[in-house]
Amino acid sequence: MQALLLAHPLALYLSAHHRALFYGFCYLIEFPQSEMLSFINRTGDEMDRVTAAAVFNRICELGSLSAASRALGISRPMVSRYLEEMEKWAGTRLLHRSSRRLTITPAGEAILLRTRQLARLSEEIEQESTQAMPAGTLRIACAHFTATHLVGPAIPDFLSRYPALRIELEINNQPVSLIGERIDLAIRITDAPEPGAIARRLGECRSVLCASPGYLAKQGTPQTPEALSSHNCLYYSRFAGQSWHFTAPQGEKIAVAVRGNFSAGISSLLCDAAIADCGVAMVPEQEARSSLASGKLVQLLPDYRPQTLGIWGLYLSREHQSAALRLFLDELYKSIAQVS
């Protein structure tokens, strides 16, 4: 493809950086070679399409043409023109427009994935051409516990080594759309990463069953997992209506349906409720570690091991993974190994 384009006279007037960007863009959106040359002959400026891709990214990020216009410092009619150019090239509508909001279409989501890959490709090419350290913004999404105990501790040292990088950490206890929320990396604690993304296992999360001495003095200490059915159990709200899972000393798998009067999406709140004599909680070991050491909480059923979940890093593309993302995944893997 590149040999074909380099033979075109127009390529002589473009920098290597701009040529690489356009080649990458055409590859990312699977633009046919014949149509690519036809397009260059029509427009006389291949970078218009790269600019249109950047404008499309910003429209989707900010949710309106006016906001994109202000952020980019160009007129609103020009933003509309770039959007029309993208839709013309894609051959379909990318955004539904109404008087109140813009809604991305399924075709728009597919194109947005590729134009964001182009943005990352642009950063990588610029870094390689200047031999600079990784730069740009890395958007990470994770739950409260993950941010506090796993991701947060790894960030200061990482940013000190790569000062040109910027990290935006989105804390959300519900799964987010990697495409819709512009997320480069989502960290999940689960036994089954959702399909549609590349998943790298970064470690494992072990849980502990615990309660306060005060609660146990009033309600008694459960001796088997089955006895939990008669206790007030404090559970993680995402797993409401499900069971707690254990492995018995002989390897037998046990599932116990639990119920209680308090659930939360933040494990620290469950831990606090257990300390306040509210019931029995199953929380990550790291969350309860200091309270167990101080005697505020007591571990229950130590011979029955709660289910261990994987810690996963989810991202959209292995092929177009940015240098910043690769470096942070490696950093997180080492950091989790140290604290586990």
* pLDDT at 107 exceeding the cut of 50: yes
Cβ–Cβ < 8 Å for 314, 140: no
* pLDDT at 176 exceeding the cut of 50: yes
Both structure tokens of 132? 């600079």
- Residue ranges of domains in the chain, CATH in brackets: 2-128 (1.10.10.10), 133-201+314-339 (3.40.190.10), 207-307 (3.40.190.290)
What pLDDT, on the 0 to 100 scale, is given for residue 101?
77
- Dist CA 28 CA 117 (whole Å): 7
Distances in Å between the Cα of 111 and the Cα atoms of 76, 211, 245, 257 are 21, 50, 42, 44
- Rounded to 5 degrees, φ, ψ at 159 are -70, -30
Both structure tokens of 299? 């571990």
* pLDDT at 308 exceeding the cut of 80: yes
- Dist CA 319 CA 73 (whole Å): 32
43 pLDDT tier (thresholds 50, 70, 90): very low
What pLDDT, on the 0 to 100 scale, is given for residue 169?
95
